[in-house]
Amino acid sequence: MKLIIFDVDETLVFSDKLDSKAFAATYEQTFGHPFPSINWHDFPHVTDWTIFRTAFRKHFDREAKEEELQFFHDCFVQNIIEHRRSCPTDFHPLPGAPEALARLSMMEDVVLGVATGGWKKPAEVKLSHVGIAHEHFFFHGGDWKETREHILEAVLEDAGAAYGNFEHIVYVGDALWDVATTRNMQLNFLGIRRRKDFDYLHRAGATSVIADYTDFDAFWEALLMAQPPKKISEI
């Protein structure tokens, strides 16, 4: 059995930072403070939970109450939904992504998962909007999880409990933090860069990067050949 786990933003769907801007705008509307940055490299870990906590601590010098977090989360989800209702064509799947995942889901020896730094509910909205069925995926987001390692570990634990050991596990992602996370965990990694700036991930240690999912055979071969990212000293 093979376990293929996907990131969401810029890996399966893209919005040209509209969703990041919605996160910042929701925060400012909710708490009355300018959001520090939508460059996620400015935060200690790239999960919605850590990003939110970092900003909230900066402005209020305390942890958010559960009801404050929940209210922000619900407003953000509603903004995500409303943006897609009002401007549906602004949000797209990566080329070939819905078809590729549909084919993978029909393979008897493949199990699918999602591990996204974003909260699970908005991630589900994003996938549903672009026609990517995900109901049977092992799915974890950044809900109450500080690091991306924690998110991937949750998917691995659930999938392992259901299927036992896997002969090949691959995480598919687009960002430098995806490279770092899989290197830390020694997980096989396949990079996705729709702008074809492959060196962006290669320089960080990724051994295999493709543009999209339009050539399913090439995508499948890249999955089978995926390896853990190299250490920086080995590049």
Tens place of pLDDT per residue across the chain (235 aa):
999 999 999 999 999 899 999 999 999 999 999 999 999 999 999 999 999 999 999 999 999 999 999 999 999 999 999 999 999 999 999 999 999 999 999 999 999 999 999 999 999 999 999 999 999 999 999 999 999 999 999 999 999 999 999 999 999 999 999 999 999 999 999 999 999 999 999 999 999 999 999 999 999 999 999 999 998 766 6
Both tokens assigned to 12: 């399966």
User: What single letter denotes the amino acid at residue 229?
Assistant: P
Looking at residue 231, its pLDDT comes to 87
Chain mean position to CA 4: 13
pTM over 0.75: yes
CATH class name, domain 2-15+92-234: alpha beta
